[in-house]
Amino acid sequence: MLGRLTQGELKIAGRRREQLLFLMDNGIYVVTVLLFIVFVFLAPYFFTPRNLVNILISASLAGIVTAGYTVAILAGQIDTSTQGVLAVATVTTALLFEELGFSLPMTVIFALLAGIAAGLFNGVIVVNGKIVAFVATLATQGVMLAIALFLSGGQTITIAREGLQEAVFIRVFGIPSSVWIMFFCYIVGYVLLTQTKLGAHIYATGADYRASLLSGVPVDRVIRIALVISALTAALTAVLVTARAKQSAMFGLAIAGSVDFVTALTAVLLGGFSLFGGVGRIERNLVAVLFLTILGNGLQLMNVPTGIILIVRGFALVLAVILSVLRARMT
């Protein structure tokens, strides 16, 4: 059909499409600000320093895991093993710090190494096994959850020893360190994706694997690195979640609340990323995480039942998927 359009008509169609895409991509900024304003008026205690810091803390945990998740998505890899990595890393953190008496720095290093190992494992299955990441990581997640279950003996490990929570949640300028860590992750992510050769290769590999391969991009290495980055941020999140809760958070779900694969996916899609890779900007993702956190927080303060909040969040994902598919059809 496009063949019948004249050059001029094509140009106009192209421009309209680009305008619409611009709206879809940047709408998240407007919607987030609007939502914030609405809650300032509707939700009691919403606009208080204490609650705003709370929002930032919640957002930081979801935000860090989403930052790495974004990198995987951009490389065209839907990493569904996030909860498995969270579980392994939270159990590692609690075991080493509480039961084996490791120092704080060593505990953090080993928890992050566990994350890197999980990412490498994913990479081997996806690249060497030539299995689509979505399926491969679903399977590896099962293995990781089982390892976490085995290591912890199925018990929640409570951390009585002092030092972990205090160190991880030191306030700098009145804002807890996890929030600073989140901003740091996004700055690193932004520089990585927009200013480095690896970033260019991540985008290209996600956007068109074959074309990248033919152009000499080391696609397999790029996919491996993206999966490691995704797992590494999940492990970092696990350390923070464990420190905050002072216990291992089995499956990463119960305590962290909003830290899971589905939130990360919702945020990524709301941020204008393509499920198929190669499209999106990491800074929008940060805003999408804030949007989801504000949504949950505001509704909670308005005393909306948890069930309803979950339904609303579910619809947010549905909407995000629809937007993503619309976007993919347009490009």
Partner 1 sequence: MASDEVILETIDLDKSFGAVHAVRTVSWKVYAGSVNALVGDNGAGKSTLIKLISGALQPNGGGFRVRGQETRIGGPAGAFGLGIAAVYQDLALVENRDVVMNMFLGSELTRGPGQIFLDHKGMLRQAHQVLDDIHARIPNVREMVRNLSGGQRQAVAVGRALIRGGEIIIMDEPTAALGVEQTQEVLQLIDTLRSQGKTIILISHNIQQVFEIADFISVMFHGELLGTRPREKATEAEVVAMIMGKRSP
Cα distances (Å, whole numbers) of residue 131 to 103, 138, 311: 39, 11, 33
222 binds partner 1 (CB under 8 A): no
DSSP codes joined into one string, 117-156:
HHHHHHHIIIIITT--HHHHHHHHHHHHHHHHHHHHTT--
| 279 vs 292 by CB, closer to partner 1 | 279
Q: How far is the CB of 253 from partner 1 (least distance, A)?
A: 34
Output 109 or 328, the one with its CB closest to partner 1.
Answer: 328
Which of residues 17 and 171 has its CB atom nearest to partner 1 in the complex? 17
Span from 31-39, 139-147, 241-249, 271-279 in contact with partner 1 (CB under 8 A): 271-279
Nearest Cα to Cα of residue 275 among 120, 69, 81: 69
Q: With contact defined as beta carbons under 8 Å apart, do 244 and 165 qualify? A: yes
| Residue among 18, 103, 146, 315 that touches partner 1 (CB under 8 A) | 18
* Cβ–Cβ under 8 Å, residues 212 and 205: yes
Q: Is the dihedral of CA 229, 256, 91, 139 positive or negative?
A: negative
- The secondary structure of residue 305, as a DSSP letter, is -
Tell the smallest beta-carbon distance from residue 142 to partner 1 (Å).
Answer: 33
Which of residues 176 and 199 has its CB atom nearest to partner 1 in the complex?
A: 199
Structural contact between residues 292 and 266, judged by C-beta atoms closer than 8 angstroms: yes
Any contact of residue 24 with partner 1 (CB under 8 A)?
Answer: no
Determine contact, residues 50/200, Cβ cutoff 8 Å: no
Nearer to partner 1, 159 or 217 (CB): 217
Q: 31 or 283: whose CB is closer to partner 1?
A: 283
Provide φ and ψ at 172, rounded to 5°.
Answer: -115, 120
Binding of partner 1 at residue 5 (CB under 8 A)?
no
Interface of this chain with partner 1, residues 192 to 211, rule: CB under 8 A: 195-200, 203-204, 207-208, 210-211
The residue ranges that bind partner 1 (CB under 8 A) are 3, 7, 10, 14, 18, 195-200, 203-204, 207-208, 210-212, 214-217, 274, 278-279, 331
